[in-house]
Amino acid sequence: MYSLRYILAAVLIAVAVTNAVDNGLGLTPQMGWNSWNHFGCDINETIIMQMAQAIATNGMAAAGYNYVNVDDCWAYSRDSNGVIQSDPTTFPSGMQYLANYVHSLGLKFGLYTCAGTETCAGRPGSEGYEAIDAQTYASWGVDYLKEDWCNTGNNNPVDLYTTMSKALNATGRPIFFSLCNWGVDNPWAWGPDVGNSWRTTGDINDSWDRFLQILYAQIPIASYSGVGGWNDPDMLEVGNGGMSNLEYTTHFSMWSLLAAPLIAGNDLRSVDAATLAIYTAKEVIAVNQDKLGTQGTLVKSLNQGDQQIWARPLADGSRAVVLFNADDTNTFTIQLNWGDIWLSPNQAMTVRDLWAETDLGQFTGSFTSATIPPHGSVMLRVY
Ligand code: GLA
């Protein structure tokens, strides 16, 4: 006879396994590339293959970018058995062929679907087809699924995303599950049981104002993000041309500090050296990928928010810091006090510039930056 305690433990384990996303993925924020921010619906298999080639050879794969993700507009119809078919004009070789090609370069392959009846661009969605779609993706060798939230009617996001989460688990293939319901139903509260990341806002666009809005929206929800399940403030716009390189450097610094997914969103066939240098900044990425997985947040704001200090603790006990000049016209120096980053004032600490990859020296109690231009930032590690 089994004891009551044994039965209770077995039930608890069973509940835990069936409710939680069970793929072992997302131990650090995902890194990769996605077609939407630059190409929108204007994609085809040649473009995706060229992006995969670029990532494999331009230093991005070596820097940690491994997912090549096709967003909306690849799906076209369902066959008589309900199996999803790719667009015959733009993806004539099919998604399995594309997955094989991406895998042959040592990279992983991601696809997009929508929890509703149709995607946001009007292609077939997964509602009612979760099990067959998950099996199809797994059979093609898909490693990552982003699931959007258009055309979902009165459905509850927890229900629809849980249905897909269980369908993915049931395939036995580890498939990273990226939820995309734009933060409207507090996905940070239930997302950790269902997926590996969840969008926290509506879409980003390639502008400073939108970047700032999304950045500030992350402050109240920082504590919900962590190992296995990440707040997703949306994909990167670095290299798309709407902001200056100084602004893109701040965008990338902040997304790294936030432990956000680092999903490049530009055209990698024509990437310039300055853009590539931002995407492959080794010590900045190391903060993003830190094993402790703590999302950084705003710890001090001065001068009506013009001078901001953002910080997070790292696994080795050091601190990552972004000193940010949010003003549109004035330059500032910014003083960091050890008390701002959970250190006692009389400690002597080394301050390292993570973009320059150089130590700036030893300081006791505080560190004052050089002059920071408007929209600029300094990213440091204090150890
Ligand atoms: C929504 C998502 C975007 C993108 C588009 C595709 O807007 O939030 O990231 O996937 O749909 O149609």
pLDDT tens-digit readout, 333-381 = 999 999 999 999 999 999 999 999 999 999 999 999 999 999 999 999 9
pLDDT at residue 22, rounded to an integer: 78
Cβ of residue 72 lying under 6 Å from some atom of ligand 1: yes
Q: What is the pLDDT of residues 78-88, one digit of tens each?
A: 999 999 999 99
> pTM for this one?
0.95
Cβ of residue 118 lying under 6 Å from some atom of ligand 1: no
Between the CA of 249 and the centroid of ligand 1 the distance, in Å, is 24
pLDDT at residue 20, rounded to an integer: 53
Cβ of residue 148 lying under 6 Å from some atom of ligand 1: yes
Q: Which domains, ranges and CATH numbers included, belong to the chain?
A: 24-288 (3.20.20.70), 297-382 (2.60.40.1180)
pLDDT at residue 30, rounded to an integer: 98
Between the CA of 72 and the centroid of ligand 1 the distance, in Å, is 7
Cβ of residue 41 lying under 6 Å from some atom of ligand 1: no
Cβ of residue 180 lying under 6 Å from some atom of ligand 1: yes
Between the CA of 112 and the centroid of ligand 1 the distance, in Å, is 9
Mutational pocket test of ligand 1: of 35, 42, 70, 72, the residue with most ligand atoms within 8 Å of the beta carbon: 72
Average pLDDT per 10 consecutive residues for the chain, totaling 383 residues = 46 41 93 98 98 98 98 98 98 98 99 98 98 98 98 97 98 98 96 98 98 98 98 98 98 99 97 98 99 98 96 98 98 98 97 98 98 98 98
Three-state DSSP string of the chain? CCCHHHHHHHHHHHHHHHHCCCCCCCCCCCEEEECHHHHCCCCCHHHHHHHHHHHHHCCHHHHCCCEEECCCCCEEEECCCCCEEECCCCCCCCHHHHHHHHHHCCCEEEEEEECCCECCCCCECCCCCHHHHHHHHHHHCCCEEEEECCCCCCCCHHHHHHHHHHHHHHHCCCCEEEECCCCCCCHHHHHHHHCCEEECCCCCCCCHHHHHHHHHHCHHHHHHCECCEEEECCCCCCCCCCCCHHHHHHHHHHHHHCCCCEEECCCHHHCCHHHHHHHCCHHHHHHHCCCCCCCCEEEEEECCCCEEEEEEECCCCCEEEEEEECCCCCCECCEEEHHHHCCCCCCEEEEEECCCCEEEEEEECEEECCCECCCCEEEEEEC
pLDDT at residue 15, rounded to an integer: 39
- The residues carrying an active-site annotation are 148, 203
Residue with the smallest CA separation from ligand 1 atom 3 is 203
Q: What is the pLDDT of residues 106-143, one digit of tens each?
A: 999 999 999 999 999 999 999 999 999 999 999 999 99
